[in-house]
Structure 1
């Protein structure tokens, strides 16, 4: 019998991935407790830009996950309130030189075979899509499937849409994963007491490795810091998500060193968001003026109009980096009843619905929506032994 402190499944993490797990599990008829040591979207989700991208992913498991999530976000936008600011505005990848344009063309041809829509935009038509782009660019590719949401509100409304089947326990840190005599999960201990359930979902993002260790297993999640510059509210000077061709290479890189590549996008509320940087410096939140200088210089090189615009604030976040750039999604055979949905790096907001649906399908005993083999949480164990 369910009591006040018991449910069918406990989701640890109230970011957008945890919220999606709770939403789809509740939709399957399960009673869900979501526990977080902070607030809703208080970690990586709250520091995200809200990108829902297929344009930056090469053919393979992550792209399949992204294409499924693209369809699911379209469905969610019809049932969640407009406050989530879902906007299917499309993405535009631009190249400064002909060599970069050739690389974009090769990449797009591979993606098209996997189901991505990619439209070549010659140099003389770039300004039809983005009137304020700098002159002299070699061309680009338009990706109409790319979209954006306001991530914190998306997480909050996914949790709310779960109705009375979802119970929130905020401000409670998980200090232990409870197990039975056979090693199976039976709940968690938090700073406020014990919560009981036969299943626990690790949706703690960058801190996924810490929760895994509480359960007695290793998951190699590392923080990858990034900064975002936010401008004053503007008229819609940037219509799409616009980024330079080298952004794709930076996303795929495993380097710990600082990397910056131009990413510029407008928002429905008016401010322009400017990124992107990546570096592995642990959980150091120290403001880096070098990073901000690079971001501003690279953004104004592509959009000169931003050179006269004030930057109102900046914020940092930590992407949950995994060595093979694929998230861990699904059951962990090393601890019966433990599931993972973390390690999405900078794509967690975009990949959240598919990740949540996979978890819910497994909990309900249904077939997964795609092959989850590449996302097996235990796939690193053999390499470490």
Structure 2
């Protein structure tokens, strides 16, 4: 398919991964972003590459594929741009999920057993093992499970590495370039009008994250992708204190909830710089980007339940970002049957960092007419949750 022109709309982690996959396959790729690369949702994430928070099903299959691809892709990039791969800070630190009640312990055991049946490594930790793995973790724990496959990257740097590798494969990048609407010629849509002129392509990939719904509507094929806000606190640098990604079992329920009001759970992990990230929250508030002290207080209180030693540690900043939410909690990946030439790679909510490589591999396989690496049907565009109630927009 040499000579096929693809415009990737969005230069966040998913758009960068798609651009790299398509450019490395020999397609003529142009990446458009209305701002700067990785400056929106990607820059406001924690960098999670997780299998621990996903039950058996299509999203877990996508997560396992992505977990296999991440280190391989970074190794390939390191051959060409070692500094970019190093800056991504790939860290296969593993995760620990903690239950603090008897009921939570039983639910966690059932959840982990199901994951093991789907190929995930989930190892119960007794009290001595918990103390050895996380010496500062509260002793008020009913059960804990270790997930050695969980990992972390530095999100904006990882996106930059993917995008740089795409540019090395002759992809082009246009920043400050907002898509305004479709362009038609002879009754056929051949391009998109943008704030920097017309962009013509054979295929357009909607990878605009939380703005994907608005962008798709501009192009004439709306999808139900909405913003869902999350906040994170960042402590001052500390001596080694937290050694895995540690979160309470409520996190899985918060991820899967569709409630509009605040959903919060304790998520605690360190960065290589020594800071500790405290999350997490989920709220559906549109694009209201105001930080709410009450939300930050809830996050801090829940984090202190897991790590009482953090009491009194200064918080040097807080940030929030928008995540692309779909009502059935599955990404949207593939061609839009209503509008030939339009493709979607969006709807990952807070899992976009981890799912980006698998998403790109699946989308590229479909676009190139190859056998997909996993079943694409659950992620199809024409499912009711994406097209609105009743399956129609």
CA–CA distance in 2 between the matches of 1:121 and 1:188?
Answer: 54
Instruction: Give the 3 Å change call, closer, same or farther, for CA 79–234 of structure 1 in structure 2.
Output: farther
How much does 1:125 deviate? Answer: 2.2
CA–CA distance in 1 between the matches of 2:266 and 2:205?
Answer: 35
Listed as ranges, the matches of 1:166-177 within 5 Å are: 166-177=171-182
2:44 corresponds, among 40, 47, 59, to: 47
Listed as ranges, the matches of 1:153-164 within 5 Å are: 153-162=157-166, 163-164=168-169
Listed as ranges, the matches of 1:89-100 within 5 Å are: 89-100=93-104
2:367 corresponds, among 358, 363, 366, to: 363
Residue aligning to 2:245: 241
- Cα deviations by residue, 1:164-223 (Å, 9 ceiling, x for unpaired): 42111011111113244454x422211110111110000000000011111211200111
Please list every run of at least 4 consecutive aligned residues from structure 1 whose deviation after the TM superposition is greater than 2 angstroms. Answer: 177-183, 380-385
TM-score (norm: length of structure 2):
0.94
1:377 corresponds, among 370, 378, 381, to: 381
Residue aligning to 1:57: 54
CA–CA distance in 2 between the matches of 1:28 and 1:39?
Answer: 25
Q: Does 1:267 align with 2:267?
A: no
How much does 1:234 deviate? Answer: 1.6
Say if 2:382 and 2:391, in contact at 8 Å, map to a contact too: no
CA–CA distance in 2 between the matches of 1:344 and 1:169?
Answer: 24
Q: Does 1:146 align with 2:143?
A: no
How much does 1:384 deviate? Answer: 3.3
Which ranges of structure 2 fall in alignment gaps of 5 or more residues?
78-84
Residue aligning to 1:115: 119
How much does 1:259 deviate? Answer: 1.2
Residue aligning to 1:25: 22
- Cα deviations by residue, 1:240-278 (Å, 9 ceiling, x for unpaired): 000001110110111111111000000112111110001
How much does 1:305 deviate? Answer: 1.4
Q: Does 1:66 align with 2:71?
A: no
How much does 1:366 deviate? Answer: 1.1
1:306 corresponds, among 304, 310, 318, to: 310
How much does 1:38 deviate? Answer: 0.5
CA–CA distance in 2 between the matches of 1:312 and 1:325?
Answer: 32
TM-score (norm: length of structure 1):
0.96
Q: Does 1:230 align with 2:234?
A: yes
SS of equivalent residue, structure 1 residue 188: strand
Residue aligning to 1:216: 220
Residue aligning to 1:77: 74
Say if 1:7 and 1:196, in contact at 8 Å, map to a contact too: no
CA–CA distance in 2 between the matches of 1:280 and 1:86?
Answer: 31
CA RMSD of aligned residues (A): 1.4
Residue aligning to 2:33: 36
Aligned residues: 380
How much does 1:358 deviate? Answer: 1.4
- Cα deviations by residue, 1:131-158 (Å, 9 ceiling, x for unpaired): 1001221120000010000110111110
Residue aligning to 2:330: 326
How much does 1:79 deviate? Answer: 2.4
